[in-house]
Amino acid sequence: MTLFLIVLLAALVFEYINGFHDAANAIATVVSTKVLTPRQAILMAAATNLLGAYLGTAVAKTVGGGLVDTHFVTLPTVLAALIAGIGWNLFTWWLGLPSSSSHALIGGLCGAALASAHGDWSVLKWSFKNGTDGLWPKVVLPMVSSPVAGFIGGAILMALLYIILRKVSPSLINRIFGKLQLASACWMGVSHGTSDAQKTMGIIVLALVTGTHDGAFDHLPSWLQFLRTDTFGEIPVWVITSCALTMAAGTAGGGWRIIKTMGHKMVKLQPVHGFAAETTAASILFGAAHFGIPLSTTHVISTSIMGVGASKRLSAVKWGLVSRIVWAWILTLPITGLLGYVCCKALNALGG
């Protein structure tokens, strides 16, 4: 029981860090275009993230039971995955790089599960027979296709807006899209909550199922029997609520290093650009969450911003900074996988 409480605390710490680490995803554009003040944007993002966390559980089920063979998962496995994700998130936040919290958690889980299975790679579920679940269709392919979709979608939407608005004065465009960007920023916040909060829900349910099977909850008093969980089919309400509130609190904490990178350094944005980037990214994220695909919010909004900037002219995007961001994306899965593997081996060596 003590180990489960440590795992639960680590999961909520990860969720809090995810909130302020990825706060920039929802509010960088609306802050950089001066449609909202930083304080207003953070409050808006916290509220919409909270709402989004209640709008589905498909992603949670994928993370909890669809990526690794749960027969090899123990509570130290889950704890190692969380330690790896937390470490990578804090490191990239310190560098001001918008890396993926989602892939950090997934990489940590895969590495830790591999350690628990003593190097047996079959513990990783690449796909089921129907091809609808597993790492390949749910993580690897979307990791490549979603940034491409974000870039192309952002560029196309911005190009269409250029055509439609070519005879409208810039001052009128700024007034119109200053208001429209409030809606797109809220849509982005809801989509972020729908996607990211669910990943930690899945990890907590994985810990609950593991603890139940390992007998960690066998001698609990009656009022704690709700912790016993044998299936991934439902996500307990207390798990949804705790993750939603923790992410909202983390979002309210802000994430100014990454906001500065995305909203100011990468592309110079006006309200119309922010609207195009947020609308593109939010639509992709919301659609993916419906199918249980744990997309990286960071990848999608970052490439949407790049696409919007490139539609004006390629030189509008600071490609040197973009290359640093992309390298962080490429390295996230292997580094967190290695961290998860090492942490799991260390925890097992210490007796769990």
The pLDDT of residue 41 is: 84
* Closest to 93 in 3D by CA, of 162, 40, 172, 23: 23
User: Beta-carbon neighbour count of residue 264 at 10 Å?
Assistant: 13
* Closest to 19 in 3D by CA, of 248, 281, 198: 248
Q: Give alpha helix (H) positions in the chain.
A: 2-21, 23-32, 38-52, 58-65, 75-95, 101-116, 135, 141-164, 170-214, 237-252, 256-260, 271-290, 297-312, 319-349
Structure-token pair, residue 108: 């940590």
Domain boundaries, the chain: 2-349
| All residues at 6 or more sequence positions from 96 whose CB lies less than 8 Å from its CB, including other chains | 257, 258, 260, 261
The pLDDT of residue 313 is: 82
| Overall residue count recorded for the chain in this entry | 352
Side chain identity at 127, as an amino acid letter? S
The pLDDT of residue 205 is: 93
Contact yes or no for 299/195 (Cβ under 8 A): no
Is the alpha carbon torsion for 84, 86, 92, 98 positive or negative? positive
Pairwise CA distance, residues 146 & 53, whole Å: 21
- pTM assigned to the model: 0.90
Going residue by residue through the chain, which has 352 residues, state the pLDDT in tens, using 9 for 90 and above: 889 999 999 999 999 998 887 766 667 788 888 888 878 888 888 889 889 988 888 899 889 888 999 999 999 999 999 999 999 999 988 887 778 888 999 999 999 999 999 999 999 998 765 555 789 888 999 998 999 999 999 999 999 999 999 999 999 999 999 999 999 999 999 998 888 889 999 999 999 999 998 888 888 888 888 888 877 778 898 999 999 899 888 887 766 666 666 655 667 788 999 999 999 999 999 999 988 999 988 889 889 999 999 998 888 788 887 887 788 889 999 999 999 999 999 999 987 5
The pLDDT of residue 265 is: 60
